[in-house]
Amino acid sequence: MPFQNRVALSGSHREAIASASKPRPVDDHELVQATVVLRRRTHAQLPASPEEFGFKDSRTTNYHRREDFGTIHGADPADIALIEEFAHEYSLTVTERNAARRSVVLSGTAENIQKAFGTSLAHYDTPGGTYRGRTGSIMIPSELQPIVTAVLGLDNRPVAKPHVRMAHAAAATGGLSPALVAQLYNYPKGFNGAGQTIGIIELGGGYRTSDLTTYFKSLGIKTPTVSAISVDGGVNKPGADKNADGEVMLDIEVAGAVAPGARIVVYFAPNTDQGFHDAITTAVHDTTNKPSVISISWGGPEDSWTDQSRNAMLAACTDAAAVGVTVTVAAGDDGATDGVSDHKLHVDLPACLPPVLACGGTKLSTRQGTITGETVWNELANNEGATGGGVSRIFPIPTYQSSAGVPVHPETKFAGRGVPDVSGDADPATGYSVRVDGKNTVIGGTSAVAPLWAGLIAVLNQELGRAVGFINPALYRIGSSAFRDITTGNNNGYQANKNWDPCTGLGSPNGTALVSALQGEASMTA
């Protein structure tokens, strides 16, 4: 059938980066790849929160089996067939189709891609590098309007950065081992995450097996099983970017040290909206490795994303909740502004998505194996970062936070999702001793907190004998009894206070108390 009438794809409008040069035309023969994201089979509208998705929370076990998800909430085969017909019309190649992920990946020359999606592509130079971009909206045939929710990858600008902070040289020889931090936070003894798989999303960098072997041997811990999966051409590539390598090694070493019995699978993808989305959906719907928890330490300000990419990320993380996967996400390292130059209050995405467990940062004081104090991590005065946190401008407050005392956004007065949910040690001055590119160093940032909590989730899953999955509602019901409430400090926008606050959420964990509380939750529904 001929595809003639064109309409703008909702939420696809793009502007060039403010610091970008004048556009330079792309070569017509340049190969471009795009992911077309399709509607759910049974939900034309994306749910605003997991509570609306047809399951409740971690007290229940009615999560969908990964193997069944595609036939219940995946893409309709007729929708996939229509995209394939569209691709044929414009001489594009279908390189991948996946009903569960609701994704069809198309590739073709820039000339054909531009005709297919009614847009002009160009190359832009910025202080951060060169990217291929577009401006305006993507124009799709009207026949596709009801079924297509996003087209990702035409614009390949970086969408995220690693939330990692390197300690200054003076502190780089100290640091705490992740295993000690787990001990300080009273992680359950006698459990190591055996039987669980921790998925880690990486948008750059890489790891060396020799470094992992040396590191875990130094801790007296058996090296966990670590494997890499390539998404959209992303690969394990250590040595090209020190910051990204630091992120990858921090994630693996923290998660592996606190849950050494768990398998670790690292999903490497390009740092684009397409890569980020596809890495998450690949991990969520991975029927081979079946991660029960996914750790994400990359992100960018929520308003730097297009509506279509935000909605695609929301759908991907809602899928995770639906199949019983907990997603732990770093809240950011630039305080309440999230590093945005307008100096207004912003939160980071994906931390602000309602289905994820957003992880903020603290400064931990210890003596002889015990915690002597814990405050909000804020070293912005020394240009050394601070925990992200605040209120979303875009995502409404979810049901599980309705009694948490989340304030409206101070500038917009919008009743938004509060960030973070929980916290943990993140100040590089009290950071984690890790090994990166053959050298021992100390790293902090909320990047460390996401894998720290991912390891705890793996341990909880093992001890409870079930996946806690979408744990947020349970955590807010449990409240202060299983947390160390952080009441001192600020993130240059919000102040810590009793109970939940937009700096450290509910607080840092008391792992053993959390197990008992979750067991109590389960007995209430037995």
How does DSSP assign 446-462, residue by residue?
HHHHHHHHHHHHHHHHH
Angle at 267 between CA 263 and CA 271, to 5 degrees: 150
What single DSSP character describes residue 518? H
Strand partners, 508: 484
Annotation says 447 is catalytic: yes
Annotation says 247 is catalytic: yes
**Residues near 180 by beta carbon (within 8 Å), at least 6 away in sequence:** 369
Give which of 133, 159, 131, 157 is closest to 349, Cα–Cα: 159
> Considering 177, 309, 392, 447, which one is annotated as catalytic?
447
31 burial level (CB within 10 Å; 0-12, 13-18, 19+): exposed
Q: How far is CA 203 from the centre of its chain?
A: 11
Rounded-to-integer distance, Cα 502 and Cα 510, Å: 20
**Residues near 145 by beta carbon (within 8 Å), at least 6 away in sequence:** 7, 9
Q: How far is CA 186 from the centre of its chain?
A: 25
Where do runs of H (alpha helix) occur along 220-272? Answer: 242-258
Q: Is the peptide bond before 350 cis (omega within 30 degrees of 0)?
A: yes
With tokens 């019995």, the residue in question is 261
> Considering 251, 334, 338, 425, which one is annotated as catalytic?
251
- Backbone φ and ψ for 37, nearest 5 degrees, come out as -100, 130
Annotation says 307 is catalytic: no
> Considering 79, 245, 247, 338, which one is annotated as catalytic?
247
Q: Give the catalytic positions in this structure.
A: 247, 251, 447
